[in-house]
Amino acid sequence: MIPVTLTIAGSDCGGGAGIQADLKTFQELQTFGTSVITALTAQNTLGVHDVQAVPSDFVIAQLNAILDDFDVSAIKTGMLFSSDIIRAVSERLQQEKIPLIIDPVMIAKGGATLLKTEAMDAMITHLLPLATILTPNIPEAEQLTNTKITTIDDVHQAAALLLQMGPEMIIMKGGHIAEDHAATDRLYFKDGRVLTYSSQRIATKDTHGTGCTFSAAITAGIAYGLNVDEAIKQAKDFIFHAISDGLGIGHGHGPTNHFAFNNALRKTGDPDAH
Ligand SMILES: Nc1ncnc2c1ncn2[C@@H]1O[C@H](COP(=O)(O)OP(=O)(O)O)[C@@H](O)[C@H]1O
Ligand SMILES: Cc1ncc(COP(=O)(O)O)c(N)n1
């Protein structure tokens, strides 16, 4: 049986981030991807040009349609946009016992708002306590904890604060903090353990949708039955290949290459051989 995955996120009509990146990633990692759309963005590699939110009752109608019919193995959330949507989604997900990966999407790389300021409290109060894994980037961790992160010690401290907000685990993504030419992510557990995932840092402007793709890959791995460490290792390989084997699409910050991980696997039999 192919596991069913679900993303609850915004549409990126440009295909590089949001729902579209999630479904491409779910597909590449051999899961059956389903989606609940929270907002439409008019977006390309140059930026977000407009946003239209989906009414929260229609978000829930989509969510019910999926959960009432499919045995979903893992769920991720991305752009949730408003406190109305966050409250409605949290209330519905609370009734399920499905692993939940939360990517606390706030601001697009071009600077557009993907989470209204009024929605931050709802995210902290209603959604974060439901998370199996929370996947903030550095600016998101700063916003959620109201701290400034410049050193690795700051990363550790922010992770400790985030764990107090209820998620079982936090993976602090290192895309926005340069460490010895590496892109290093850290997984924090409640018992104090920390696991580190590191790859070479690729010098490229084409990182549109990296966070979405990474959290979708973790979700697919969990759906497949991998443990969290294995799922993150696979997601890290997936995103490394997707960034390093870029497609050169669009005139701005281009999307990543969702085919690259499987292309590497087909060529070498080992996606780690980079
Ligand atoms: N230039 C890069 N080279 C290699 N890996 C990267 C690069 N930028 C980001 N990553 C990786 O991509 C994933 C997404 O990270 P990040 O860019 O921090 O998230 P977001 O897209 O949410 O801002 C992480 O695993 C991170 O380490
Ligand atoms: C609909 C939507 N969701 C999420 C992102 C964040 O993208 P990134 O992963 O590059 O921060 C985006 N630009 N658009």
* pLDDT tens digits for range 154-171: 999 999 999 999 999 999
Global confidence as pTM? 0.97
Query: Rounded to whole angstroms, how far apart are CA atoms 137 and 172?
Result: 6
pLDDT for the residue numbered 173:
96
Strand order in the sheet with 182-189: 47-53, 32-44, 4-12, 72-77, 100-102, 133-134, 169-172, 182-189, 194-200
Alpha carbon 54 to chain centroid, angstroms:
20
Q: Which among 74, 128, 122 has a CA at the least distance from the CA of 96? A: 74
Whole-number CA gyration radius for the chain: 17
Mutation pick for ligand 1 pocket among 25, 140, 207, 232 (CB with most ligand atoms within 8 Å):
207
Q: Which CATH superfamily is domain 4-138+207-268 in?
A: Ribokinase (3.40.1190.20)
pLDDT for the residue numbered 271:
66
> What string of pLDDT tens digits covers the 274 residues of the chain?
999 999 999 999 999 999 999 999 999 999 999 999 999 999 999 999 999 999 999 999 999 999 999 999 999 999 999 999 999 999 999 999 999 999 999 999 888 999 999 999 999 999 999 999 999 999 999 999 999 999 999 999 999 999 999 999 999 999 888 777 899 999 999 999 999 999 999 999 999 999 999 999 999 999 999 999 999 999 999 999 999 999 999 999 999 999 999 999 998 876 665 4
Q: For ligand 2, atom 2, which residue shows the shortest CA distance?
A: 18
Token pair in block for residue 177: 């903090």
Number of Cβ within 10 Å of residue 110's Cβ equals 15
Token pair in block for residue 20: 């579209």
Amino acid at 57: D
pLDDT for the residue numbered 24:
98
Query: Rounded to whole angstroms, how far apart are CA atoms 18 and 69?
Result: 24
Element (H, E) at 220: helix 210-224
Q: Which among 144, 146, 147, 211 has a CA at the least distance from the CA of 176? A: 211
Alpha carbon 260 to chain centroid, angstroms:
18
Q: Which of 15, 16, 175, 211 is catalytic?
A: 211
pLDDT for the residue numbered 207:
95
Ligand 2: does its nearest atom lie under 6 Å from the Cβ of 109? Answer: yes
Q: Which of 209, 213, 219, 221 is catalytic?
A: 209
Q: pLDDT tens for residues 227-262?
A: 999 999 999 999 999 999 999 999 999 999 999 999
Q: Which among 118, 50, 134, 127 has a CA at the least distance from the CA of 92? A: 127
Mutation pick for ligand 2 pocket among 107, 109, 238 (CB with most ligand atoms within 8 Å):
109
